[in-house]
Chain A
Amino acid sequence: MKYKIIRLLDVAGMNCFEPVVRLCYGEEPRQQVRKIGLFIVAPVVVFALFIGAWAAIAPFIKTKAGSLPSPVDVAGSLVDVYEFHWREYAKKADFARTGDDRDTTLALVTQQLADATERKAVVEAELAELTATLDAETAATLKKYEEAIENQTLVYHASQFEREQELHKLGDKLEVSQDEPREQYVASVREHQTLSARESTHLKELRSDLAAIRKSTTPQFAALLREKNDLDQETQFLDKRASLLSDGNRRSNVASAALTLKNADAALAAAAPGQRYDATLDYLGAEERVLSSAGAIYAKPPTFFDQVFTSIECVFVGFLFATAIAIPIGVLCGLNKVIMASLSPLISLFKPVSPIVWLPIVFIVVGGFIERPDEAWVKPAFLSSAITVALCSLWPTLVNTALGVASIDKDHLNVARVLRLSMWDRLTKIVIPSALPLIFTGLRISLGVGWMVLIAAELLSSSPGLGKFVWDMFNNGSSDTFSQMLLTVFVVGVVGLLLDRIMIVFQRLVSFDGGATAL
């Protein structure tokens, strides 16, 4: 059992937990504790240090969208995106609910809405009270401060005016033709200017202090405000749900459309001779609406998790394209020196081309094939991103496949010769199995490259996905969206890590030499 678990961990590429398993079975505890310290505690400590350093530095990095979000903000934004996600799915479900299900849900939602509204009223009252007391407290301070600034401004203005008058007088009396007095005069005017500049800077500083005092809030106030915002959102959400469960429900829409149809039919039946054509048109329009409302679904905006899913889908489509191209070409290159020699300039030429260059070209070409993007079963932006991913990520697989096939053990080929295997058998029974570990090494690198390329491609092509999500957040430019962008960094990292782990598992499964895999 112990060795089974260890083998499983090895295949899954999670060797770091091996000492834990061994410790549970009481195998050389000192040794295992040392290993746990090395492979688990040390990385965790370093991660904690990183989070700590980030939290310490974040408040000092000021931007237009507020200061850099702290780890706590980013964790909060994960909660936010999750909330948005499940709310949108709840609304979508509500829109399609029918019968008793709809009635019970409606009752529940109405109840929740009433609760939330009540709580909101309480919070609003508290907030108003707190605002009043805070205002009263700060008002006195503010008033004093404002007066002080006012006085200071007057003093500075007066002294500036005085100095100017003085300089004018001096200027009038000045013997301009003589060098020494002239230079003296210039120096004193310069001094006056420096002094005035310093005074106005001081005033500005005082005013910004004032603004800071005005904006400053107590933690209690901030907490209340946040609670009020949350409740606002919740009531809004529940309100929408209630409407989707009653008037806005699909069944209601269909019913009202059916009623219109019935009326139109009646109108047509009673129509005077001159109006029959128009009445028929109305009838047909009503019929159309019944059909469309019956098939309607709630127009849900894509949530963060939808975007993650779309991105993964896109990278896999691209990865499949890349694999389908790279493996056959790689095998051909490995088998035949002539093909290898003739293709290697092309491979070397295209390998370093950046996704940013491929994307617009692919976009135009794909656009040329898909004439009506709205009706196409696959979105051109999605397809372009996938093809760009393929173009950038096929090279590692191609090169590794070629290497794997070319470096096949000569003795294995001799076995094939002695057995007089056909070309196909030689390929499937000897060449490909022998090259498989290297092919999978290539595939693993390709998937990693593809995932990196994809985010850039999505960002440029506005194809739905994480790249587009980041771009939208960037254009929004509030502090919430800033922390969601940082959240994306971690999500991209985690998904990339998982993809890599999956490939490691495959690589381990096909490797027959039991060789170690790089991290």
Chain B
Amino acid sequence: MIRNANIPGDDENRPPVLELQDVTVSFGMGAEAYVVLDEACLKVEENEFVVVIGYSGSGKSTLISTLAGLTTPTRGAALYRGEPMPAPGPDRGIVFQNYSLLPWLTVVGNIDLAVKRLRRDLTGTARRDYVQKYIDMVSLSGSEKKYPSELSGGMRQRLSLARTLSMQPEVLLLDEPLSALDALTRSVLQDEIIRLWEEDRRTVVMVTNDVDEAVLMADRIVPLTPGPGAKLGREFDVTLPRPRDRTTLNFDPDYKHLRNEATRYMLQLSADKKTRTETRRFTLPDLEPANFGA
């Protein structure tokens, strides 16, 4: 099922797929409360590839789990197709940062856990073929009988992706799926995710800390200001034509411009944050250590 990309004129009638309205998430109570997200606003349209970019510890995972319904906002509202966010479900498939594979199940077992639950119509060979289709999709063929502990980091992330894709979610939420991988594996998987997305343009929200990755993959980049109390910053639309080829892209002036601008903006955010914290610095008393020797 290949859905068409943004149909012009249709957007105004339909509510966005995901929407955050002044969402504040904090943990703890009273004076000890730790504010992770502070009045964040975000709209994600149908079939859009949105990348949220932010420093580590800026509440990216909290943002994703709010979008999945795993975390309930302390204040504000999270909407799914205009309705209040329902309980987490397979329609908002999430790929966790640390894979979250079940270590006692094999590659097949991990995917089958989801398939058995969600595709009760499939039995016997049909179900096996269905599982195999997703294993092949993420190029894990040949490792069906392996356990997660026997897989490399990249393979684990592929498996995690396959499990989520097998749920056939309407929205794919990727929580720093590539940040634990080495640079080479990372670029292979970036291409793979793009390929899968282009086959079947779902709505994707991906979180990352890598500007290059964001520019390469996104339709729209949303920066997250450094936490605590992270807000969503100025958005960048990425209008580079697809498919984007990483080798030629490096010479594209638009790409370079966008990349530099986004990087500068992120560095600016960090600098602001530093000045903000510097004002709160304690002034140390002007003390000299006593000289015991003499």
Which segment of A407-415, A470-478, A487-495 sits at the interface? A407-415
A331 CB to closest chain B CB, in angstroms? 16
Task: Say yes or no: B68 contacts A418, CB within 8 Å.
Answer: yes
Task: Say yes or no: A514 contacts B88, CB within 8 Å.
Answer: no
Q: Flag whether B96 is at the interface (Cβ < 8 A).
A: yes
| Among candidates B68, B89, B98, B167, residue contacting A411 with C-beta atoms closer than 8 Å | B98
| Contacts A411-B96, A513-B149, A514-B149 given; does A417 touch B70 at CB 8 Å | yes
Which segment of A120-128, A377-385, A428-436 sits at the interface? A428-436
Q: Flag whether B15 is at the interface (Cβ < 8 A).
A: no
| Contacts A411-B98, A415-B100 given; does A420 touch B87 at CB 8 Å | yes
Task: Say yes or no: A417 contacts B88, CB within 8 Å.
Answer: yes
Which residues of chain B (95-113) have a CB below 8 Å from chain A? 96, 98, 100, 102-105, 113
Task: Say yes or no: A415 contacts B90, CB within 8 Å.
Answer: no
Chain B residues in 8 Å Cβ range of A419: 90, 113-114, 117-118, 167
Q: Flag whether A512 is at the interface (Cβ < 8 A).
A: yes
Q: Flag whether A186 is at the interface (Cβ < 8 A).
A: no
**A411→B96 CA distance, assembly (Å):** 8
**A19→B88 CA distance, assembly (Å):** 52
B152 CB to closest chain A CB, in angstroms? 16
Q: Flag whether B147 is at the interface (Cβ < 8 A).
A: yes
Task: Say yes or no: A436 contacts B104, CB within 8 Å.
Answer: yes
B133 CB to closest chain A CB, in angstroms? 19
Q: Flag whether B93 is at the interface (Cβ < 8 A).
A: yes
Q: Flag whether A48 is at the interface (Cβ < 8 A).
A: no
Chain B residues in 8 Å Cβ range of A135: none
Q: Which residue of B lies closest to A430 (CB)?
A: B102
Chain A residues in 8 Å Cβ range of B117: 419-421, 425
**A429→B92 CA distance, assembly (Å):** 21
B193 CB to closest chain A CB, in angstroms? 19
Q: Which residue of A lies closest to B147 (CB)?
A: A512
Q: Which residue of B lies closest to A409 (CB)?
A: B100
B108 CB to closest chain A CB, in angstroms? 14
Task: Say yes or no: B87 contacts A417, CB within 8 Å.
Answer: yes
Q: Which residue, A409, A419, A425, A434, has most C-beta atoms of chain B within 10 A?
A: A419
B149 CB to closest chain A CB, in angstroms? 6
Q: Flag whether B230 is at the interface (Cβ < 8 A).
A: no
**A248→B148 CA distance, assembly (Å):** 69
Chain B residues in 8 Å Cβ range of A415: 96, 100, 102
Task: Say yes or no: A418 contacts B89, CB within 8 Å.
Answer: yes
**A430→B110 CA distance, assembly (Å):** 11
A158 CB to closest chain B CB, in angstroms? 91
Q: Which residue of B lies closest to A511 (CB)?
A: B104
Q: Which residue of A lies closest to B70 (CB)?
A: A414
Task: Say yes or no: B104 contacts A418, CB within 8 Å.
Answer: no
Contact with A along B208-246 (1 / 0, CB 8 A): 000000000000000000000000000000000000000
Chain B residues in 8 Å Cβ range of A434: 102, 104
A8 CB to closest chain B CB, in angstroms? 18
B153 CB to closest chain A CB, in angstroms? 16
**A75→B147 CA distance, assembly (Å):** 49
Q: Which residue, A411, A425, A434, has most C-beta atoms of chain B within 10 A?
A: A411
**A411→B94 CA distance, assembly (Å):** 11
Task: Say yes or no: A412 contacts B102, CB within 8 Å.
Answer: yes
**A436→B147 CA distance, assembly (Å):** 16
| Contacts A418-B68, A419-B117 given; does A411 touch B100 at CB 8 Å | yes
A427 CB to closest chain B CB, in angstroms? 14
Q: Which residue, B94, B98, B102, has most C-beta atoms of chain A within 10 A?
A: B102
Chain A residues in 8 Å Cβ range of B118: 419
Task: Say yes or no: A418 contacts B90, CB within 8 Å.
Answer: yes
| Contacts A418-B89, A420-B88, A420-B89 given; does A433 touch B102 at CB 8 Å | yes
Q: Which residue of B lies closest to A415 (CB)?
A: B100
Chain B contact-residue range equals: 20 to 34
| Contacts A411-B98, A417-B88, A418-B89 given; does A512 touch B113 at CB 8 Å | no
**A514→B148 CA distance, assembly (Å):** 12
Which residues of chain B (171-202) have a CB below 8 Å from chain A? none
Chain A residues in 8 Å Cβ range of B89: 418, 420
Chain A residues in 8 Å Cβ range of B98: 411
Task: Say yes or no: A414 contacts B100, CB within 8 Å.
Answer: yes
**A513→B148 CA distance, assembly (Å):** 10
A10 CB to closest chain B CB, in angstroms? 15
Chain A residues in 8 Å Cβ range of B105: 433
Q: Which residue of B lies closest to A414 (CB)?
A: B70
Q: Which residue of A lies closest to B97 (CB)?
A: A411
**A412→B110 CA distance, assembly (Å):** 11
**A451→B96 CA distance, assembly (Å):** 45
**A470→B167 CA distance, assembly (Å):** 64
Chain B residues in 8 Å Cβ range of A429: 113
Which residues of chain B (38-76) have a CB below 8 Å from chain A? 65, 68, 70
**A411→B88 CA distance, assembly (Å):** 13
A219 CB to closest chain B CB, in angstroms? 65
Task: Say yes or no: B104 contacts A433, CB within 8 Å.
Answer: yes
Contact with B along A476-519 (1 / 0, CB 8 A): 00000000000000000000000000000000001011100000
Q: Which residue, A411, A418, A425, has most C-beta atoms of chain B within 10 A?
A: A418
Chain B residues in 8 Å Cβ range of A433: 102, 104-105
**A429→B117 CA distance, assembly (Å):** 11
Q: Which residue, B87, B103, B114, has most C-beta atoms of chain A within 10 A?
A: B103
Q: Which residue of A lies closest to B169 (CB)?
A: A418
A441 CB to closest chain B CB, in angstroms? 15
| Among candidates A414, A510, A512, residue contacting B96 with C-beta atoms closer than 8 Å | A414
**A419→B149 CA distance, assembly (Å):** 23
Task: Say yes or no: B100 contacts A412, CB within 8 Å.
Answer: yes
Q: Which residue of A lies closest to B96 (CB)?
A: A411
A438 CB to closest chain B CB, in angstroms? 13
Chain A residues in 8 Å Cβ range of B100: 409, 411-412, 414-415
Chain A residues in 8 Å Cβ range of B68: 418
A200 CB to closest chain B CB, in angstroms? 80
**A39→B91 CA distance, assembly (Å):** 56
Task: Say yes or no: A512 contacts B149, CB within 8 Å.
Answer: yes
**A181→B147 CA distance, assembly (Å):** 104
Q: Which residue of A lies closest to B105 (CB)?
A: A433
Q: Which residue of B lies closest to A421 (CB)?
A: B117
**A415→B102 CA distance, assembly (Å):** 9
**A512→B92 CA distance, assembly (Å):** 29
Chain A residues in 8 Å Cβ range of B70: 414, 417-418
Q: Which residue, A412, A415, A513, has most C-beta atoms of chain B within 10 A?
A: A415
Task: Say yes or no: B147 contacts A418, CB within 8 Å.
Answer: no
**A513→B102 CA distance, assembly (Å):** 11
Task: Say yes or no: A513 contacts B103, CB within 8 Å.
Answer: yes
Which residues of chain B (111-140) have a CB below 8 Å from chain A? 113-114, 117-118
Chain A residues in 8 Å Cβ range of B103: 512-513
Apart from the given pairs A417-B87, A419-B113, A433-B102, 4 other A-B contacts in the complex at a CB distance below 8 Å = A415-B102, A418-B89, A419-B117, A419-B167
14 contacting pairs across A/B (C-beta < 8 A): A409-B100, A417-B87, A418-B94, A419-B114, A419-B117, A420-B88, A420-B117, A425-B117, A429-B113, A433-B102, A512-B104, A512-B147, A512-B149, A514-B149
Closest 6 CB pairs of A and B: A411-B100, A512-B103, A512-B104, A417-B88, A433-B104, A418-B88
Residues of B within 8 A of A (CB): 65, 68, 70, 87-90, 92-94, 96, 98, 100, 102-105, 113-114, 117-118, 147, 149, 167
